[in-house]
Amino acid sequence: MMSPNQIPDNRGPTHDATSRQTPLQVIHIIGNLMRIWSVYSMYQYLSQTGASVVLFIFSCLVPSTIIFLLMQKPWKGRPLSNNQVVPSLINGGITALYFILWGKGLKSCGPLRALLAEYSGAVLGVLSTVLYGRRGHVWKKVGGLFAMVASFYLLSRGWAMATYFPIYILCCINAEIQSEEVLGVKDMLIPMIAGILSALRRVIARRVSLKNQLKRRLHAITIAAATCFLFPVSMWDIIIGSTNVELPFSAWAFSSFILFGIILIFYVDSIAEERLHMVFSSPRHLMVAGGCIIIMEIVFKMDFSLPGFLLCAAILSFGIHQATSLDRTRKDSLQSSDLSNGVYEDQIQMAALPT
């Protein structure tokens, strides 16, 4: 008589938690789809007009900064200390460099490879293990690193494109497809470095503050600082740094990247981390982004090979899983040693969010 009554009691909280997370998961999927849509629109705009990447990003960061400052009002509320403001300003410089390298990589490598290269930030998990982790887990992390490098190499060789995939699929080729070039490993380094910088700026943002409201206020300062750092670079690009300084206006390319590629994706990723416990450089996040990339590749009629993309994404996902997996014993030891002084939550969250 007791056993049937205990089953609903055990399953009730789990079912309620799942039902509460479902709307958040839908928001996360839609947010990533809109962001990736804006990236493909940006790539199409840059490739067709030949506009300057730096000027485009700077033109998008200026209104984004104004919107973030008006929404978060970092000058109101509890005063921010120098220990919070100074790292946020430094993070702004890293963010500016990330946007420049990512934009250059997007223009030269295409959206698919640029988006997947963002997950190269998982190498920070390997680095932290090599420096601070246990010896027994180093080879597991290094194996994940090699899997990630292999995936990026296959992407650079065009395995995600129907034209260059070894198993040539004739039905996927038509006259309207936008073909991309095969790249060398050196060409993939630009978006990969951008991915590492993106992971680094996320780590700094978490180190500065784990509180949601304070994190958003500091993010507004970071974006404002990134805009200030990009200003002299964009002026240099106008004067002598670029052969083509024209910036033809495209309402959708600019507005979509501002709203979805910079503003909305920040709040969506924050919800994913805080409520769904889904960090950016994780297999779960890669699965969501991979599905959105498949949709955009078909909609924009790109040179796309589904089997090749799935193969590269599977290898990359395996590498990320190996590179960012946690040692359960180490986690339990942290809990038992640091729970009394209140720093357990900080360390566990940083360990679980290596990128």
Distance CA 161, CA 142 (A): 28
pLDDT at 24: 92
Integer CA distances (angstroms), 198 to 121, 204, 299, in order: 7, 10, 27
Residue 26 maps to a domain: no
Distance CA 180, CA 158 (A): 8
Integer CA distances (angstroms), 248 to 58, 253, 259, in order: 14, 10, 19
Count of CB atoms within 10 A of residue 220's CB? 23
Cβ atoms of 312 and 318 within 8 Å: the answer is: no
Distance CA 325, CA 329 (A): 12
For the packed helices 53-72 and 212-236, what is the interaxial angle rounded to 10 degrees?
150
Distance CA 219, CA 225 (A): 10
pLDDT beyond 70 at 334: no
Q: Write the pLDDT tens digit of every residue in 38-56.
A: 999 999 999 988 888 999 9
Q: Write the pLDDT tens digit of every residue in 221-248.
A: 999 999 999 999 999 888 876 555 556 7
pLDDT at 351: 40
Q: Write the pLDDT tens digit of every residue in 186-233.
A: 788 999 999 999 999 999 998 887 677 788 999 999 999 999 999 999
pLDDT at 56: 94
Residue 80 maps to a domain: yes
Distance CA 179, CA 166 (A): 16
pLDDT beyond 80 at 336: no
Q: Please name the amino acid found at residue 115.
A: L
Count of CB atoms within 10 A of residue 166's CB? 10
pLDDT at 277: 87
251-265, 275-289, 332-346: least confident range: 332-346
Average pLDDT over residues 137-149: 86
Residue 191 maps to a domain: yes
> Could you tell me where the DSSP H helices lie in 73-172?
82-109, 111-117, 123-132, 138-156
How many structural domains does the chain have? 1
For the packed helices 2-49 and 265-274, what is the interaxial angle rounded to 10 degrees?
160
Residue 57 maps to a domain: yes
174 compared with 26, residue with greater pLDDT:
26
Confidence of residue 167 (pLDDT cuts 50, 70, 90): confident
Residue 123 maps to a domain: yes
Domain that holds residue 96: 50-323
Q: Give me the chain's average pLDDT, please.
A: 82
Residue 304 maps to a domain: yes
Residue 38 maps to a domain: no
pLDDT beyond 50 at 341: no
Distance CA 38, CA 296 (A): 10
Distance CA 212, CA 214 (A): 6
Q: List the one residue out of 114, 144, 164, 60 whose CA is nearest residue 293.
A: 114
Residue 315 maps to a domain: yes
Give the max Cα distance, the chain: 83
Q: Give the pair of three-digit tokens for residue 70.
A: 């008006």
